[in-house]
Amino acid sequence: MKFVDEYRDADASHKLAQAIATTTTRPWTIMEVCGGQTHSIVKFGIDELLPKEITLVHGPGCPVCVTGVELIDKAVEIAAHPDAIFCSFGDMLRVPGTQKDLLSVKAEGGDVRIVYSPLDALKLARAHPDKQVVFFAVGFETTAPANAMAVYQARQQGIHNFSMLVSHVLVPPAMEAILSSSSNLVQGFLAAGHVCTVMGYTEYEPIARKYHVPIVVTGFEPVDILQGVYMCIKQLEEGRAEVENQYARVVQREGNRAAQKLITEVFEITPRKWRGLGEIPASGLGLRTPYDVYDAEKRFNLTVGDVQESPECISGLIMQGVRKPDQCPVFGTRCTPERPLGAPMVSSEGACAAYYRYRRVAKPEAAQPA
């Protein structure tokens, strides 16, 4: 197959769903790690094609969703600085911090700009030497090479008014945190294809062995996801726990070596606090010496005390696969994309946003008096 419509073919999808039903003999719970996969599943009703024995749960693979509240507060503080131009991808602007979000800072006069690449922010730094230009570097391993390249170029070109607020997170440690939890329900994973495009999938092989859990590297279209589910169910039914690659048209086992080399040159592995999940050791990236002079936290001398997430938001349970968005008591009422209590409601990869857009059922209006 060559074209997108072929990966959305109804006949092919139904044949795969039938193969899954034929193979399944007992209940299984599978987690799709990536928020992009979650949106495809909900948008195309992929989970509704599966037999009732199979439950798909939604993982922490939305970088916007897992960015800690304290980092949002730091972003807000930088964006409000009169000498700063704060650059971010668009879906970060509505993510709630302790008191406000970046969109509120922009409305109050802060110079907050939506960019489509960290190199756009670097270009702004060259054009505005009198300003401190800060890029909000959010993402998994997928966006790390571009962010590393921006910092690398800034150093090579001697651009000193550019920095990054880094919130990079890594997938394998999050998977291990889920599997080692006492509340874990996950028996198999659909791994994010775009992450593996960069990093390959050798890091998943020890996880599959240690926890005896199948991991299938999977793409993002309906046929991809259904084939990934079929491969995962087949392993579970046969008692196997291996890493398999459904997304072979894009992903190689070793990944992109040049991208990995650049990431290693600029970043080092650090602990990272995940929104809703807490701190996970060795699950983040931070700027290593000598690139740490481009660390916005150090440049602006930021300190944020202990912060509390909304007690009404159950995003942590959702991203661990313990709950689904529509099981949240405030879903679609007190928590909406316009007034979110948690990041999964506003991110373009957030599970709550997917359910709100594609699965929200309007409540019946009260009967009018005769």
User: Residues 310-361: pLDDT tens digits?
Assistant: 889 998 899 988 999 999 999 999 999 989 998 999 998 999 999 999 987 6
Instruction: State residue 253's pLDDT score.
Output: 97
HSE toward the beta carbon, residue 15, CA cutoff 13 A:
8
Q: 63 preceded by cis ω (within 30°)?
A: no
Q: Are 190 and 162 in contact (CB under 8 A)?
A: no
Instruction: State residue 76's pLDDT score.
Output: 96
Cα–Cα distance measured from residue 235 to residue 224, given in angstroms and rounded to the nearest whole number: 17
Instruction: State residue 164's pLDDT score.
Output: 98
Q: Read out DSSP for 34-56?
A: EHHHHHHHHHHTHHHHS-TTEEE
Cα–Cα distance measured from residue 112 to residue 134, given in angstroms and rounded to the nearest whole number: 10
Nearest to 220 by CA among 251, 241, 198, 243: 251
Instruction: State residue 366's pLDDT score.
Output: 37
Helix (H) or strand (E) run with residue 112 in it: strand 112-114
Q: Read out DSSP for 210-227?
A: HHT--EEEE-SSHHHHHH
Instruction: State residue 118's pLDDT score.
Output: 97
Domain locations in the chain as residue ranges:
1-359
Helix (H) or strand (E) run with residue 238 in it: helix 222-238
Q: What is the pLDDT along the chain (370 residues), one digit of tens a residue?
A: 677 889 999 999 999 999 999 999 999 999 999 999 999 999 999 999 999 999 999 999 898 999 989 999 999 999 999 999 999 999 899 999 998 999 999 999 999 999 999 999 999 999 999 999 999 999 999 999 999 999 999 999 999 999 999 999 999 999 999 999 999 999 999 999 999 999 999 999 999 999 999 999 999 999 999 999 999 999 999 999 999 999 999 999 999 999 999 999 999 999 999 987 889 999 999 999 999 999 999 999 987 767 777 889 998 899 988 999 999 999 999 999 989 998 999 998 999 999 999 987 644 443 343 3
Instruction: State residue 172's pLDDT score.
Output: 96
Instruction: State residue 361's pLDDT score.
Output: 63
Instruction: State residue 307's pLDDT score.
Output: 76
Instruction: State residue 367's pLDDT score.
Output: 37
Residue with the two structure tokens 């922490």: 60
Query: What's the topology of domain 1-359?
Result: Rossmann fold (3.40.50)
